């Protein structure tokens, strides 16, 4: 049983890396899709009606697939400058409370989005006749569930959400 957790976290890290890689691949696909849509609309040839819908889906997937990785890498926007002026003990208590609140909030969003996703099986998105609406909820459920796990991991390991900026090298 002692080898379970290192193996689990190793697999978890590989999953986050893979999802971040996929999120990175979405960017050039969106870029090409938008250029194609604008060009064909301007030239009035070979127009596709679903480019905008695909781009909207891609933005959602890009954000949701990259968020858990970004959280692990401590790349999220945070109030680190404000934290530097707090006494260290108080700052740690505030950080723990923030991690607990964020973990619970992420778990709630994932839990609420899951039945909505299931409810939308078989429902077609009206903007593009081939996209299923439940595909809008998959990245939300995945993102918030993985973020909740990452918050729990950081909390249980005694880690920090912050990179360690000090007041002397902060601009405030």
Tell me the pLDDT tens digit for each residue of 54-67.
898 999 999 999 99
The whole-number pLDDT of residue 18 equals: 98
Where helices occur in the chain by DSSP H, the ranges are 4-43, 51-72, 80-84, 88-119, 138-157
Angstrom distance (rounded) from CA 158 to CA 142: 24
**Segment 2-55, tens digit of pLDDT:** 688 899 999 999 999 999 999 999 999 999 989 999 999 899 888 777 788 889
Q: Record the pTM.
A: 0.88
| Radius of gyration of the chain measured on its C-alpha atoms | 20
CA distances from 132 to 53, 90, 112 (A): 11, 48, 19
Please count the residues of the chain.
Answer: 172
Write the DSSP symbol of residue 6.
H
**Segment 67-81, tens digit of pLDDT:** 999 999 998 777 777
């Amino acid at each position: 049983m002692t080898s379970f957790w290192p193996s689990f976290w190793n697999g978890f890290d590989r999953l986050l890396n893979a999802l971040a890689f996929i999120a990175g691949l979405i960017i050039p696909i969106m870029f090409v899709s938008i250029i194609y849509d604008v060009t064909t609309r301007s030239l009035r040839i070979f127009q596709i009606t679903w480019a905008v819908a695909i781009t909207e889906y891609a933005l959602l997937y890009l954000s949701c697939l990259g968020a858990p990785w970004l959280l692990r890498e401590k790349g999220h926007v945070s109030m680190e400058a404000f934290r530097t002026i707090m006494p260290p003990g108080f700052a740690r208590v505030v950080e723990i409370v923030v991690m607990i609140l964020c973990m619970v909030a992420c778990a709630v969003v994932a839990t609420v989005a899951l039945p909505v996703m299931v409810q939308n099986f078989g429902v077609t998105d009206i903007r593009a006749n081939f996209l299923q609406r439940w595909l809008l909820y998959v990245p939300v459920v995945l993102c918030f569930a993985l973020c909740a796990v990452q918050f729990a991991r950081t909390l249980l390991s005694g880690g920090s959400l912050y990179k360690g900026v000090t007041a002397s090298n902060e601009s405030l």
